[in-house]
Amino acid sequence: MSTTIRWTPCAAALLCALLVAGNRDGGSRAPRSPSARQTSWQAAPLDAPAVVDATAERTQRQRAWAIPYNGRFTFTRLMYGGGGFGRRGGGSWSHDYPNADLNIPEILEFMTSINVTTGASNVFTLDDPRLFQYPMLYVSEPGFWTITDSEAANLRDYVLKGGFLVFDDFEGNQLRNMVAQVERALPGFELIEIGPDHEIFDSFFLIENIYIPHPLVAVTPVYYGIFEDNDPSKRMLAIVNHNNDLAEYWEFAHTGYFPVDITNEAYKLGVNYIVYAMTH
């Protein structure tokens, strides 16, 4: 049974301001005592080239961008090769990183009873076996995403073993590339449009209007699902936020850059996605 939560804009704005005040420039937070529940966090060095080669050096470097497994929900982002540019010199995979990845777990911990890692996040490539320890994988800018044959096989194994994908921050015909890459992992899959009546939009928060406007581009948001056996009555393997960028709202929640009421709705969607991933 879902739980309906009424979250006032003022309370949400105050919460975000308090939680991320020490991380406004994307730097690390103040050190926590060893007895603190949270894990101390250090930003991944985003000075790597936008196109990342699948080399042993990259794999070794990337391994330092994750925390030791602790049994808690830890926000996990996909690092991939491809075109485009992200925040602070990274590739497209790094859009809205790291603040978005740090802010949404804080809200999740505050609003739910899920055991959450705060102050830290993971960045994995698809060929990292540790990916299978985490139930949800966030993919930013999939319009520029590319995968190898082995990564496609791992992606297929990940979702069929219970993993959940969130595709976000892309618009227009960038959808074609996302579809082409997923097709390599899940041949014959269908992209099925979903609306407010799907349970993912009511898994924790009751959201009255799921069509949150894109923060930067004048487009109309659309939500698609990828389902087991292309059957919407079965488990959703992926949610596709086309013509939207939820993580942009998460990243700038503490700045006042976007309206608080819209930012609240973006957080609600993020929490619902995570709760759905943890319960399906």
What is the model's pLDDT at position 65? Answer: 80
What is the model's pLDDT at position 46? Answer: 39
User: DSSP readout, 70-134?
Assistant: -SSB--EEE--B-SS--GGG--GGGTTTTHHHHHHHHHHHHHS---B--S--EEE-TT-GGGGG-
What is the model's pLDDT at position 84? Answer: 54
Query: Domain spans of the chain?
Result: 9-22+52-279
Q: If you classify domain 9-22+52-279 with CATH, what class do you get? A: alpha beta
What is the pTM assigned to this prediction? 0.80
What is the model's pLDDT at position 196? Answer: 96
Per residue in 154-197, pLDDT (tens digit) is 999 999 999 999 999 999 999 999 999 999 999 999 999 999 99
What is the model's pLDDT at position 120? Answer: 95
Pairwise CA distance, residues 46 & 103, whole Å? 19
What is the model's pLDDT at position 39? Answer: 30
Q: Which of 108, 128, 130 is nearest to 118 (CA)?
A: 108
Q: Which of 276, 275, 274 is nearest to 236 (CA)?
A: 276
What is the model's pLDDT at position 109? Answer: 96
Task: Give the residue ranges of the chain where pLDDT is below 50.
Answer: 1-64, 88-89
Bridge partners of 35, per DSSP, are none
